[in-house]
Amino acid sequence: MKKLSLLTFILISVSIFAQQHKIIPEPSEVRAMNDVFDISSPTISFAPQDSVDFEAAYLLAMLNNDFGLSAAIVPNAMTEHTIDLVLDSKLPDAEAYALTITGQKVEIKGGSAAGIFYGIQSLQQWMWEHFDAHKGVVQAVAIDDSPQYEYRALMLDPARHFLPIEGLKQYVDVMAKYKFNRLHLHLSDDQGWRIEIQKYPLLTEVGSVRKETKGDGQPHSGFYSQQQMKDLVVYAAQRHVSIIPEIDVPGHSVAAIVAYPELTCFNEALEVRTTPGVSKNLLCAGNDDVFTFLDDVIGEMAEVFPGNEFHIGGDEAPLDHWIECPKCQGRLKELKKDTPQDLMSYFFKRVNQSLQKHNKQPLIWYELDVPQYPQNSTMYTWRMGLSSKVIKKSAQLGYKLISCPGEHAYFDYPQFKGEETCDWMPVLTLEQVYKFDPAMGEKKREHIIGVEATLWGEYIKDIDRAFYMTWPRGMALSEAGWAGENKKNWGTFTNKLDVHFNYFDSKSVAYRLPVELHQ
Ligand code: TNX
């Protein structure tokens, strides 16, 4: 009888342990075990040929700085009582990991260095709840985990308001903790051109300067040198985040047009915009110099951004000027087409030729009235929502789809009624983000490769505001991208947030406290 009750006690404690973790995004499987590991002065070890030196150094800094331990790195130690980082090709995919803590050792296996990096994030978050600082021990556990979607992104918009490079690095630091693996940078728009292009110096000399005659009177000008961006690419890659550059064409191009007005249909002299909105001034589809310009720009950027994903915009390009322009009309005749939307298909076909030359694939904001995009395109479903029509049409036409619908993933929208943004934007609550299912109720759709939150910058004037608008909604989105629908539970999620906020406080990272959850 006594034995039985002890067993019952153990079983109950194990199941309580299983409930008690606050890891975000929710892992596939967490099994707490009734043992502890003495982690007060651990040795971190790995096989040198595995090239996980960065991960080991990252783990060391985390244990020593955040938990006050005295960890050391000894390659090839891997004996009793070490923390081993091990590559394991048998895990389900490259980003998968298995974290095991027993009384004897800690082992973090990863499908690649990325998997090990994610295992380290889960170890840190596990320790927030299960590290006993007095005794220097951590609760034993076995966590097996892998992502639902391969593409998990956040987007920043330094085009509208420039964000200094250091802020982008801080942003990468935090997003990597929630297992996001892409930072999409919207590098050009009507309100600014933000990346140095050596062949076209006016893009940044003129196109990056906002003259604040209207607006808030602050100078929101600036640009990134190619070297700064190369550094960011390396910094982010170490944290398993790839940078996706975007040049938004043929619309949203006023800043480029200010620098080179001959690229428009009517040689328009404009000013860099300081107000939000959609401009009718497009790059001219009938002018071959436009495609030479884009070919040059893509060529230089291809050297800076080594990934094969390249976003070329495509949103909100009213066709009025193309309809009025004789060169565009001539082009349509050449193509033997008669609707101006066909010019948009033509435009992206030409741009895609430049991308292909550099081994890049086009990523494009989906506009449903455009008859055809290049076959190798990845489309983003944005403010038109995530409807079954979009999902079906993209599948039929053979495009990959990234899901970032306004009603779940527009982080420029206010988080509660009355939050300072602008009149037309609907509220996007934490719960509404949490409800986001990229597959819309179906188990999985092969062509939906991932999710993205877009933090449009018209009202995001500095990086602290970007953090404040991102977190904790980014935590909710990370569960849509990583954990998947059958692992999500709103109540469990909200109970996890407190330790994350403590961590943000300790690092002075801005976020919004969702006070409505406690009312
Ligand atoms: C639409 S979504 C835009 C952006 C704006 C945003 C504001 C998309 C592809 N284009 O230019 O910043 O709405 O929410």
- Supply the pLDDT for residue 13: 45
213 pLDDT band (50/70/90 cuts)? low
Q: Is 129 a catalytic residue?
A: no
Contact 280, 331 (CB under 8 A): no
Among 210-224, 356-370, 411-425, the least confident range: 210-224
**Which is the closest atom of ligand 1 to the Cα of 457?**
12
Residue in 286, 246, 245 with CA at minimum distance from that of residue 264: 286
pLDDT at 292 over 90: yes
Query: How many angstroms does the Cα of residue 159 sit away from the middle of ligand 1?
Result: 12
**CA-proximal residue: ligand 1, atom 7 (nearest):** 456
Q: What is the average pLDDT value for the chain, to the nearest integer?
A: 93
12 pLDDT band (50/70/90 cuts)? very low
- Per the listing, tokens 């349509």 go with 332
CA–CA dist 22, 130 (Å, integer): 10
Q: Is 289 a catalytic residue?
A: no
Q: Does 315 contact ligand 1 (Cβ within 6 A)?
A: yes
Q: 128 is written with which tokens? A: 């927030």
The pLDDT of 216-225, averaged and rounded, is 83
For residue 420, give every residue at least 6 positions away whose Cβ sits within 8 Å of its Cβ, in sequence order, or none. 414, 459
Tell me: the pLDDT tens digits for 454-466?
A: 999 999 999 999 9
- Supply the pLDDT for residue 44: 97
- Residue from 107, 189, 248, 412 carrying the catalytic annotation: 189
pLDDT at 16 over 70: no
Buried b (16+ CB within 10 A) or exposed e, 175-201: bbbbbbbbbbbbbbbbbbbbbbbeebe
pLDDT at 17 over 70: no
444 pLDDT band (50/70/90 cuts)? confident
Query: How many angstroms does the Cα of residue 456 sit away from the middle of ligand 1?
Result: 6
How many residues are present in the chain?
A: 519
**CA-proximal residue: ligand 1, atom 9 (nearest):** 315
- Supply the pLDDT for residue 11: 46
- Supply the pLDDT for residue 15: 44
State the complex-level ipTM.
0.96
Domains of the chain from N-terminus onward = 19-145 (3.30.379.10), 151-511 (3.20.20.80)
Q: Does 412 contact ligand 1 (Cβ within 6 A)?
A: yes
Beta strands in 116-196 (DSSP E): 131-132, 137-145, 151-156, 182-186, 188-189, 192-193
CA–CA dist 335, 113 (Å, integer): 49
Crossing angle for the helix pair 226-238 and 165-177, to the nearest 10 degrees: 20
**CA-proximal residue: ligand 1, atom 1 (nearest):** 383
- Per the listing, tokens 């110096």 go with 201
- Supply the pLDDT for residue 445: 87
Residue in 445, 382, 434 with CA at minimum distance from that of residue 155: 382
DSSP string of 419-486, one letter each residue: -SS-TTPPP--HHHHHT--TTTTSS--TTEEEEEEEE--TT--SHHHHHHHHTTHHHHHHIIIII-GG
217 pLDDT band (50/70/90 cuts)? low
Q: Is 316 a catalytic residue?
A: yes
pLDDT at 1 over 50: no
- Helix (H) or strand (E) segment spanning residue 19: helix 2-19
pLDDT at 31 over 50: yes
pLDDT at 14 over 70: no
Residue to probe by mutation, ligand 1, list 456, 459, 469, most atoms within 8 Å of CB: 456
pLDDT at 3 over 90: no
Query: How many angstroms does the Cα of residue 506 sit away from the middle of ligand 1?
Result: 33
Residue in 235, 26, 239, 325 with CA at minimum distance from that of residue 146: 26
**CA-proximal residue: ligand 1, atom 6 (nearest):** 456
Query: How many angstroms does the Cα of residue 412 sit away from the middle of ligand 1?
Result: 9
Query: How many angstroms does the Cα of residue 17 sit away from the middle of ligand 1?
Result: 44
442 pLDDT band (50/70/90 cuts)? confident
